[in-house]
């Protein structure tokens, strides 16, 4: 385990606008070289937190330390931080290379060094052949790369990215996500990105902080927040989830029996911590963790049956919406690997759904 202090320490930071609290007592450490994503719905306070890191807002309470130095009241241009805005904010009258050189000229870097740095940045974002063009002569993806090169030219310790790929179409966004991760790994600079797009956060970040109403609901790797959310909110926010309400009726080791009012039966769920008898819980099961078929899976501990009401065919996989006898609805996704014996499941068919207790997540909040 590394004992290195974090590059960024956010300590009990609160931001109020009048009597509205946009960011509420956030504590967060970010390590050198991390790609961290702040993820949350519109209005949750993620941009306000990013703007405080950049120095564009001052915390009402709390402190922000970068490399051990309290920067809470230090202006943006004196912080070892650069911010890449969603609009890219390129200077329209300057060429690509002039845009990249601008910050270096402001810092009075010698001309030869500027030329060298600009060339290295152009190579890095693969824009060398566009050096003499103006922003209006570039595509959205090319502008994004110039903005990135400009932000990195001054070699900040931290780059803040506000919805960096928001202006790109879906295909280009996916391609650029990987490019951006490769560049981040190459330069080794800490990236902190704000996004409302969970897929983007999961694809790009080492760790994700999920925000809700000014607070951090959970911090973890993409794997952790998806597989072991700490609340119903996070489970619902990331990916699709079946949420099954119930009450604990007993347990053996880490396997708990839960009488589910939703399903009208008892199910078994794995949970390492003790659960008091009678406590209300929500059992989350991801749609891909359930199996679906005409016959029950032999020996399955959790099995329910119902009727297919909808099938969303997505090519590589299908999502089956199933209504149980008592009215509850479950979603099951299945890879369309091959056309199996007996053919595809059809709308209106009676089916069995089963899942392993270890694929349940018991949520108490
Ligand atoms: P989005 O994804 O829509 O940008 P966000 O999570 O980034 O949302 P913020 O921009 O951080 O949200 O805003 C959080 C809350 O604070 C919102 O309700 C917003 O209206 C409010 N807010 C932000 N800036 C100000 C301001 N300067 N004055 C008053 N309220 C503000």
pTM score, two decimals? Answer: 0.89
Ligand 1 in contact with 17 (CB < 6 A)?
Answer: yes
Structural fold of domain 8-236: Rossmann fold (3.40.50)
Adjacent-strand bridge partners of 220: 208
Per domain, the residue ranges of the chain are: 8-236, 241-364
By alpha-carbon position, which residue is closest to atom 19 of ligand 1?
A: 43
pLDDT value of position 114: 95
Could you identify the residue written with the tokens 């998806």? 226
How far apart CA 151 and CA 84 sit, in angstroms, is 6
Closest CA to 61 of 7, 30, 5, 22: 22
CA 64–ligand 1 middle distance (angstroms): 19
The alpha carbon of 21 and the centre of ligand 1 are apart by a number of angstroms equal to 10
Q: Is the Cβ atom of 47 under 6 angstroms away from ligand 1? A: yes
For 241-364, CATH number out of 2.60.40.1230, 3.40.640.10, 1.25.40.10, 2.40.50.140 equals 2.40.50.140
**Residue entry with tokens 């797009």:** 197
User: Which residue is closest in CA terms to ligand 1's atom 23?
Assistant: 48
Q: Kindly state if the Cβ of 54 falls inside 6 Å of ligand 1.
A: no
Cβ contact 124:185 at 8 Å: no
Residue 3: what pLDDT? 66
> Mean pLDDT, 10 residues at a time, over the chain (365 residues)?
80 96 97 95 94 95 94 90 86 95 92 93 90 92 90 91 84 85 91 93 95 97 96 94 95 92 92 93 96 90 95 93 93 83 83 95 92
DSSP string covering 246-279: EEEEEEETTEEEEEETTTTEEEEEE-SS---TT-
């Amino acid at each position: 385990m590394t004992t290195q202090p974090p590059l960024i320490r956010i300590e009990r930071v609160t931001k109020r606008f009048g009597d509205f609290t946009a960011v509420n007592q956030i504590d967060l450490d970010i390590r050198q070289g991390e790609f961290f994503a702040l993820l949350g719905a519109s209005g949750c306070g993620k941009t306000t937190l990013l703007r405080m890191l950049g120095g564009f807002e001052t915390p009402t309470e709390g402190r922000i330390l970068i490399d051990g130095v309290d920067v809470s009241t230090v202006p943006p241009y004196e912080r070892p931080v650069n911010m890449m805005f969603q609009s890219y904010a390129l200077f329209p009258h300057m060429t690509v290379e002039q845009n990249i050189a601008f910050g270096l000229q402001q810092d009075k870097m010698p001309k030869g060094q500027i030329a060298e740095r600009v060339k290295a940045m152009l190579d890095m974002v693969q824009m060398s052949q566009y050096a003499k063009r103006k922003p209006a002569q570039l595509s959205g993806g090319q502008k994004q790369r110039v903005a990135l090169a400009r932000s990195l030219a001054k070699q900040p310790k931290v780059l803040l990215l506000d919805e960096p790929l928001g202006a790109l179409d879906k295909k280009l966004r996916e391609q650029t996500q990987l490019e951006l991760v490769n560049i981040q790994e190459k330069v080794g600079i800490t990236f902190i990105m704000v996004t409302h797009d969970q897929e983007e956060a999961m694809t790009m970040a080492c760790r994700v902080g999920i925000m809700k109403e000014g607070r951090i609901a959970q911090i973890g790797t993409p794997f952790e927040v998806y597989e072991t959310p700490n609340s119903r909110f996070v489970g619902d926010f990331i990916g699709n989830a079946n949420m099954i309400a119930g009450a604990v009726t007993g347990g053996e080791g880490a396997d708990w029996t839960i009488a589910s009012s939703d399903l009208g039966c008892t199910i078994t769920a794995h949970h390492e911590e003790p659960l008091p008898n009678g406590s209300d819980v929500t059992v989350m099961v991801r749609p891909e963790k359930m199996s679906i078929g005409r016959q029950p899976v032999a020996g399955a501990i959790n099995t329910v049956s119902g009727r297919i009401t909808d099938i969303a065919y997505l090519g590589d996989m299908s999502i089956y919406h199933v209504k149980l006898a008592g009215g509850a609805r479950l979603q099951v996704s299945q890879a369309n690997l091959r056309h199996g014996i007996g053919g595809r499941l059809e709308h209106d068919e009676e089916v069995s759904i089963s899942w392993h207790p270890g694929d349940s997540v018991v949520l108490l909040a």
